[in-house]
């Protein structure tokens, strides 16, 4: 799956507090691996999981070979939006 780096960062910014921890816990990976997936530059002995960036407009094109983190982030965003609608 290809997405621009800018779009990937927009998804990260839509996540509510605690989402990185939740994604890491549910996928049994390190929190830093989740942060790195969304563009953090700290690799401190953490493998970058399923993401490759190619130079280009809007921060470049990100090829996601492993979409588990992406899918979980979108699930959390949908849950948050639904919760906000119900409580309105």
Higher pLDDT, 36 or 24: 24
Tokens 């994604």 sit on residue: 23
At residue 51, the 3 state secondary structure works out as: strand
Rounded distance, CA 30 to CA 50, Å? 14
Rounded distance, CA 48 to CA 80, Å? 27
Rounded distance, CA 16 to CA 71, Å? 15
pLDDT of residue 11: 96
Number of domains in the chain: 1
Q: What's the chain's average pLDDT?
A: 87
Higher pLDDT, 54 or 51: 54
* Element (DSSP H or E) covering residue 63: strand 61-64
pTM, full prediction:
0.83
20 Cβ partners below 8 Å, 6+ apart?
31, 34, 35
Rounded distance, CA 10 to CA 75, Å? 15
**Residue range of the domain that includes 41:** 2-87
């Amino acid at each position: 799956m290809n997405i621009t780096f800018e779009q990937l960062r927009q998804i990260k910014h839509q996540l509510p507090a605690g989402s990185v921890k939740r994604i890491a816990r549910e996928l049994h990976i390190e929190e830093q691996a989740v942060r790195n997936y969304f563009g953090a530059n700290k690799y401190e002995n953490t493998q970058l999981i399923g993401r490759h960036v190619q130079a280009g407009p809007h921060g470049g094109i990100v090829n996601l070979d492993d979409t588990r983190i992406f899918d979980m982030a979108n699930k959390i965003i949908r849950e948050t939006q639904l919760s906000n609608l119900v409580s309105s």
